Amino acid sequence: MKRVFFTILFLSSILRAVEVGEVLKPTVLDGKDGGRVDGGAWNSESLKGKVHVIFYVDPDKKDLNEDFADRLKSENFDHSKFGSVAIANLAATWKPDIIIEAILKHKQKKFPQALYLKDKRKFFVKSWGMRDDDYDILIVDQNNRVIFKKEGGLKKEEINEAIKLIKSKI
């Protein structure tokens, strides 16, 4: 009985989603799990020093928060203080990886100030507790502390709240 309890406790601590106020667990996305669209590894510690918006996206829901993405672009934030990371959850879709990866490479060239990553095996579902088969948004401060979190689509007032929060932190 004790073994079952500790196994459940251990699994729940692994699968627990990151919450507002917590610092992101340091992670490296590489190899079979995925990585940068150019094939290199990505380390979450590279986010430190800037405010970042992290989009974790099921490619089937890529347009869910288009209003927020457009608003971020229109704000024209200083890229020395602000960045964005788009992570495609390739394991959440029926679409072939090769097609999504080609789209991500094109976007990386078109928007070099943003960072595009591919998650091939639900790495962030397991490591940060991101919601699978959905569209998750995290905003982290310069120390990788989560200051905003949303699963699913943002409403207009949530977009305004997120923008206000970013402005207050940069």
Give the pair of three-digit tokens for residue 19. Answer: 């919450």
Phi/psi of residue 43, nearest 5 degrees: -115, 125
Question: What pLDDT was estimated at residue 110?
Answer: 87
Question: What pLDDT was estimated at residue 2?
Answer: 55
Task: Give me the torsion for CA of 156, 157, 159, 160, rounded to 10°.
Answer: 120
d(CA 132, CA 92): 7
**pLDDT (tens digit, 0 to 9) for every residue of the chain, 170 residues total?**
555 444 444 444 445 789 999 999 999 999 999 999 989 999 999 999 999 999 999 999 999 999 999 999 999 999 999 999 999 999 999 999 899 999 999 999 988 889 999 999 999 999 999 999 999 999 999 999 999 999 999 999 999 999 999 999 99
Pick the CATH number of 17-169 from 2.60.40.10, 1.10.3720.10, 3.40.30.10, 3.30.300.130: 3.40.30.10
Question: What pLDDT was estimated at residue 111?
Answer: 86
